[in-house]
Amino acid sequence: MPPARILVIDDEEIVCLSCQRVLTEEGYEVQTRPSGPEALRLLAEELFDMAIVDLKMPGMDGIEVLQAIKRDYHHIPVIMITGYATVESAVEAMKSGAFDYLLKPFTPDEVAVVVKKALETRSLILENIYLRGEIQAKYGFENIIGTSKKMQEIYRLIAKVAPTNSTVLITGESGTGKELIARAIHYNSQRKERQFVPVDCAVLSENLLESELFGHVKGSFTGAVVTKPGLFEIADGGSLFLDEIGNISLAMQSKLLRFIQEREFTPVGGTKLKKVDVRLVAATNSDLQEKIKEGTFREDLFYRLNIVPISLPPLRERKEDIPLLAMHFLKKYCQEMGKNPKAFSQMAMEMLRRYPWPGNVRELENIVERAVVMTEEDAILPQHLPLPMQERPEGLTFAVPKTNEELRELKRHLRDKAVEEAERLFVLDALSRNDWNVTRSAKDVGMLRPNFQALMRKHNIRSAEREE
């Protein structure tokens, strides 16, 4: 890694030379300039990692230089040099964006320490900017894959709703990518610099969900040993994603409705109201209007959430997107596993196209990942896909039995295949109904979790559950 480049700006030559000597010994590359205009001309021509600026200089003073640097090179930390008589001015400079200041006369150690801290802070800032850019690129709505008419309409809807503060309700089967859409809305909004906070309402009990959302004060219940801020408070200025909103209790629905109306809440066990600015995005794989008829979901809450509805189609209704999605996941897992780029054979791709995809995009991703793990060849072939996908659309291909024994053997074979397929669909259906959460799926079908997991392993099904 090349040494950090530091620009020292001071009209006193002795100060410039002193800083240059000390910092060069520390391994930095140092240049000096006697005035602000000369320094700014150099900054326009060369890259620097930080600047040290004297507060008092003739003509263009240190504050003006600081303001120019923060305006045009805002990622460069600035350290001010000042005398005791101008400490108050140095404090004002820090309010204007200076990282720190040095008091004359300063020691070599003081210079080295403050420069090191400034450069470390700069590295963290740049890393944060990079990571934020990576996240925003990942969740840009233009990167949501699909060219089908239905997905194109969703892209247009996201582009319209993202810049607003409107509440969004995303509906769709499990595995269709509801959280991906929610993140795309957030990272294409004016709130993208603040937190995106997801919460799975289905895995939390009523009391725990209330505490998670609204926070609690110390001593409000057994185990509340400290005051804890809620997710609404953490998401202040950003977005809160309420996944599986249809699973919350009527009592919790009432509290959520009040928050939506007032944008304020009281922590569990607290008495003081807190007001926050949070955008809500909710999602569900349930039919909320049917739940309203059943009396398990409040109609007034539904209309508060359903300001902008986005309905995600299941994968079986946009089969033209399957090749694009499959190639995207193939490239992704080849890169992650350090394998040479691969392709799908024509037959393998045809198998993907005709499959009904009960687990939607999540199931497709799981199957492609498995295929990449299983093959060392240049292409994904039919034998690298799960067995049920390998069957011809018109059924199994087999020779006509010639004897009664051959007929019995064929029956046993077909029966075994049918049982395997029934098992596989049984597992996928349970996972799909329960948002691919293994614990809930096993409980839903009346199985012990280890037994349910054994069936998953048997059929090479992986969960994308968010359990801790």
Domains in the chain, ordered, with CATH?
5-135 (3.40.50.2300), 141-313 (3.40.50.300), 317-397 (1.10.8.60), 402-468 (1.10.10)
Contacts of 211 (CB under 8 A, 6+ apart): 221, 224, 228, 230, 268
Going by DSSP bridges, is the β-strand pair 239-243/50-54 parallel, antiparallel, or unpaired? unpaired
Average pLDDT, the chain: 84
Can you tell me the mean pLDDT for 22-44? Answer: 91
Give the C-alpha separation, 69 to 40, whole Å.
8
Q: Pick from 64-73, 76-85, 265-274, 275-284 the range whose average pLDDT is largest.
A: 275-284
Judge contact between 75 and 125, C-beta under 8 A: yes
Q: Which two tokens stand for residue 397?
A: 């291909």
Residue spans of alpha helices (H) in 176-286: 178-187, 206-214, 231-234, 250-262
Tell me the percentage of the chain whose pLDDT exceeds 70. 90
Condensed to tens digits (0 to 9), the pLDDT of residues 101-138 reads 888 888 888 899 999 888 888 777 666 554 554 455 55
pLDDT at residue number 391: 54
Can you tell me the mean pLDDT for 337-366? Answer: 86
Contacts of 4 (CB under 8 A, 6+ apart): 28, 29, 49, 50, 119
Condensed to tens digits (0 to 9), the pLDDT of residues 303-328 reads 999 999 999 999 999 988 898 899 98
pLDDT at residue number 240: 94
DSSP 8-state code for residue 147:
-
Can you tell me the mean pLDDT for 279-291? Answer: 94
Can you tell me the mean pLDDT for 47-75? Answer: 87
Kindly report which listed range (15-29, 226-240, 358-372, 407-421) carries the lowest average pLDDT score.
407-421
DSSP 8-state code for residue 268:
B
Judge contact between 440 and 414, C-beta under 8 A: no
Judge contact between 364 and 352, C-beta under 8 A: yes
Residue 432 has pLDDT above 70, yes or no: no
Give the C-alpha separation, 44 to 66, whole Å.
15
Condensed to tens digits (0 to 9), the pLDDT of residues 141-193 reads 555 777 788 888 888 898 899 999 999 999 999 889 899 899 989 988 889 88
Q: Which two tokens stand for residue 449?
A: 């979790």
pLDDT at residue number 3: 83
pLDDT at residue number 468: 33
pLDDT at residue number 71: 82
Q: At what angle do helices 404-433 and 438-445 cross, to 10 degrees?
A: 120
Cα-based distances in Å from 309 to 169, 228, 262, 301: 5, 33, 22, 14
pLDDT at residue number 393: 43
